[in-house]
């Protein structure tokens, strides 16, 4: 994980968090510890700052946008894996949106 804070005018900052999450082959203990640390990093960002998350989340999120309507858009494919559920829970807790599910793209562009 890497965090960069870019000061703006006044007291605001842009906070960029870049991550490479554990892969599917890692144990659930490793994944849970990563997401606990990730949660702490996000929680430390001030509410009025701009938060940008970047990275490879090694996650497949589900296509059930009714269950996750505040987190994912209508343009998604596939089913969840365990990393996807962890990501969706984190996004729900911090009121984040998985942005690449909002835009209509060809399916081959969604799974790269």
Per DSSP, the residues of 10-65 read TT-EEEEEEEEPPPTTS-HHHHHHHHHHHHHHHHTS-TTSEEEEEEE------S-T
Measured from the Cβ of residue 86, the count of other Cβ atoms closer than 10 Å reads 21
10-residue averages of pLDDT along the chain (112 residues): 90 91 90 93 89 87 72 75 87 86 72 52
What is the reported pLDDT for 112? 47
What is the reported pLDDT for 70? 81
Structural domain boundaries enclosing 82 = 2-110
Number of domains in the chain: 1
What is the reported pLDDT for 65? 62
What is the reported pLDDT for 24? 83
Q: What is the pTM of this model?
A: 0.78
Contact present, 18 and 56 (Cβ < 8 Å) = no
């Amino acid at each position: 994980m890497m965090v960069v804070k870019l000061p703006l005018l006044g007291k605001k900052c842009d906070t960029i968090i870049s991550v490479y999450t554990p892969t599917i082959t890692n144990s659930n203990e490793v994944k849970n510890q990563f997401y606990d640390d990730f949660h702490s990093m996000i929680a430390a960002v001030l509410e009025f700052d701009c938060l940008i998350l970047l990275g490879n989340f090694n996650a497949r999120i589900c296509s059930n946008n009714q269950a996750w309507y505040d987190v994912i858009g209508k343009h998604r494919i596939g089913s969840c894996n365990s990393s996807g559920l962890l990501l969706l829970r984190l996004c729900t807790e911090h009121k984040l949106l998985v942005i690449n599910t909002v835009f209509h793209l060809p399916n081959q562009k969604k799974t790269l």
